[in-house]
A and B are shown apart, each in its own frame.
Chain A
């Protein structure tokens, strides 16, 4: 047993922490979020140059050969600055699907992903699917050397700016069958694609994507036809680990800012932190944060190890706890800041909003509790 980071991981951690410190004060972030793209292309290039985009890819694909532990280190630091660049969407989700595909596809696609010139996204949700990855109505039928896709994908993270999107579509079976789902890498400039991009409440971007008779060559199928679901769940697990790490970075900011604020703010001739009820509340926030961190390590190590029979269950546990604790910490950070917590001026509110979105991504608190209990 060893919870220490390797010296390489520590170096990456420090370099990301510095990047966040230098580039992500709240006003700079909000300016980027309000811009056309919603993030900085310069930052994205920097991330490529520093090798961060290569982190979770195999060396033979031009990657750094890292695993979920390396992504965790990175995402936790990103969480502290609410980083806007599409790392999760392009590297963990889109890239995460492609890297589980054929060698030919990896050779074609991944170099551009790693050098940042090609941005990917993952379209897994549909208007009716709620959190079930296997509830897929979008369909693909084979037509010569192509597949023809029709359907509606919803809330696609960074789907508005991605060049290519991994789309789950039904090639056989009933609406909620886990079998019969296939993954396609779809060019966003293909004929029949309609994208409606919009901001989300946390300052990120998402898109509704409709596909009307979109032709996708069979070479762009990820994995095997009808057997996309195991890839999809593996990618979802990686994404949950990454989101949880980001959430934990954000939780740290929320509870620490609250501890600092209550020691400065004076009411009734005392710093707020003198009041025991607030002390206890902050201790609760801190405990939730630590518990989440423990479960993050547990789930990340189990998944990274690759053979743990309980890994899936631990991922459910993690997503549940992070959702529950993230909202508890966020709501109380706002409450303990009083009126100031309700403003857009302090960072608290923005971290809280990110918590709310993380809570619903890839299944909310209740959903994962049900999965865990099942």
Chain B
């Protein structure tokens, strides 16, 4: 055990910082072009555009410490806009379970950020109980394609996505986890209708997707028919550790302190208020621990072990921490936190604080709702066997 960064880690960190400095967005630049160039340059560094991909698929093959450094630095820098669905979610599944032709067909565009993906898992009747999904895929008589019918809900970014990776039901005769098939299809085609859902902060990011008689060639099926659940489950694990956002929270905590220090109270600021200060401190303590929980998890993953018990709590702790930071930001804004609409009186952070807080309430709902996550930990980590369902 050792907490010091080695000389080579330090020089790696400097290299990362240098890269971010050299390629920072300059005001006035064509954003879309800068974005694609940025990823291309990161690729040229040897997989910096896809840090988490395995080496054989072009990833950088970093040590846990290097990943940790990267996370820390990216939380601070302004990186080009990116969504998790392609590089972070569907790509690992295509790598793990897709065939060579699919890997060659899909991975380069995902990597180049040329194609936007969305995740078509949840349905009106299948949220926490995802395996009860009903969107039907029926194989044509000649075995060349599936015909898909059903409804997905809460599909983030469906309105800007080019492709969906979708869980469908091909068999409902057995256990509900069996008979689920993993299909990929383009979003911009007849038979797909996307309807916006407006969430609490007034934002449009999630959608309902209605799928009617959409033909999907069998070449777009990942792995075997009926095995989709196994593939998706692996990904969910992946998704969850990514949602903890510890490095981002460390930066957000600094932001919170700066915001509180900008609110005058008596002769000092809100950050001098002992009660507010104590709440910030308690948050920081949880974050210090969570940071090392994440490091332990990274280290055991690197050692090739299955994710250790510590990784199961990361999503829970990480999202709770994010919510507390948002909550304290709202508190710091005081009366002004309520201001809405176009005019934004009060401190600059007030408006973003409220919408950030409202959006953060979803963190403990998506990617495995907290109550269900705890069930999973009780069963799989603590080994508690329940005598009834």
Contacts from A to B (Cβ < 8 Å): 125, 127-128, 130-131, 154-155, 176, 196, 198-202, 206, 208, 266-270, 275, 277-278, 331, 334-335, 338-339, 341-345, 349, 352-353, 356-357, 360-361, 364, 366, 369-370
Contact = CB atoms under 8 A, between A and B. Distances in A.
A368 to B, nearest CB: 11
B377 interface: no
Interface in B257-287: 263-266, 270, 273, 275-276
B338 A206 contact: yes
B165 interface: no
A66 B339 CA distance: 33
A370 B275 contact: yes
Interface centre among A131, A275, A344 (most CB of B within 10 A): A344
Contacts of A125: 335
A357 B200 CA distance: 14
Contact of A130 (B198, B265, B361): B265
B338 A344 contact: no
Given A267-B128, A339-B366, A342-B361, A202 B371 contact: no
Given A338-B128, A339-B366, A200 B374 contact: no
* Binding site secondary structure of chain B: mixed
Nearest to A358: B338
Interface in B323-345: 330-331, 334-343, 345
A154 B369 contact: no
B389 interface: yes
A361 B371 contact: no
Given A130-B263, A335-B365, A342 B338 contact: no
Interface centre among B127, B335, B364, B370 (most CB of A within 10 A): B335
B341 A198 contact: yes
Interface string B131-175: 010000000000000000000011000000000000000000000
B93 interface: no
Given A154-B346, A353-B200, A361-B335, A267 B127 contact: yes
Top 3 A-B residue pairs of the complex, sorted by shortest distance between their CB atoms: A267-B129, A200-B338, A199-B341
Contacts of A206: 338-339
B197 interface: yes
B122 interface: yes
Contacts of A176: 266
Contacts of A361: 335
Contacts of B362: 339, 342
A335 to B, nearest CB: 6
A334 B338 CA distance: 19
Contacts of B341: 198-199
A176 B366 CA distance: 46
B199 interface: yes
Contact of A339 (B153, B270, B374): B153
B275 A366 contact: yes
Given A200-B338, A339-B127, A268 B365 contact: no
Given A154-B346, A370-B275, A360 B370 contact: no
B339 to A, nearest CB: 6
B253 interface: no
Contacts of B371: 275, 277-278, 335
A275 B370 CA distance: 13
Contacts of B366: 339
A339 B365 contact: yes
Given A154-B345, A201-B354, A338-B128, A357 B338 contact: yes
Given A154-B336, A331-B361, 16 more contacts: A155-B338, A155-B346, A199-B340, A199-B341, A200-B338, A267-B132, A334-B361, A335-B371, A338-B369, A339-B153, A341-B361, A342-B199, A356-B337, A357-B338, A360-B331, A370-B275
Given A127-B346, A335-B370, A369-B275, A344 B200 contact: yes
B316 to A, nearest CB: 13
B202 interface: yes
Contacts of A370: 275
Contact of A343 (B125, B198, B336, B364): B198
B198 A356 contact: no
Contacts of B266: 176
B334 A342 contact: no
Contacts of B129: 267-269
B29 to A, nearest CB: 34
11 contacts: A128-B264, A199-B341, A200-B338, A267-B128, A267-B129, A277-B374, A335-B365, A339-B154, A343-B199, A353-B200, A360-B334
A332 to B, nearest CB: 10
Given A130-B265, A335-B365, A339-B153, A364 B331 contact: yes
A344 B199 contact: yes
Interface in B102-128: 122, 125, 127-128
A127 B342 CA distance: 18
Contacts of B202: 344
A369 B340 CA distance: 27
Contacts of B125: 266
Contacts of A341: 361, 365
Nearest to A327: B327
B200 A268 contact: no
A75 B158 CA distance: 42
B263 A198 contact: no
Nearest to A155: B335
B365 A342 contact: yes
Given A198-B341, A206-B339, A344-B202, A268 B389 contact: yes
Contacts of A338: 127-128, 365, 369
Nearest to B128: A267
Interface centre among B125, B129, B338, B358 (most CB of A within 10 A): B338
A303 B358 CA distance: 35
B86 to A, nearest CB: 22
A235 B51 CA distance: 60
A125 B199 CA distance: 31
A356 B334 contact: no
B230 to A, nearest CB: 19
A127 B330 CA distance: 16
B127 A201 contact: no
Interface centre among A338, A352, A353 (most CB of B within 10 A): A338
A344 B369 CA distance: 20
Contacts of A369: 275
Contact of B345 (A155, A201, A275, A353): A155
A184 to B, nearest CB: 21
A206 B330 CA distance: 18
Nearest to A272: B128
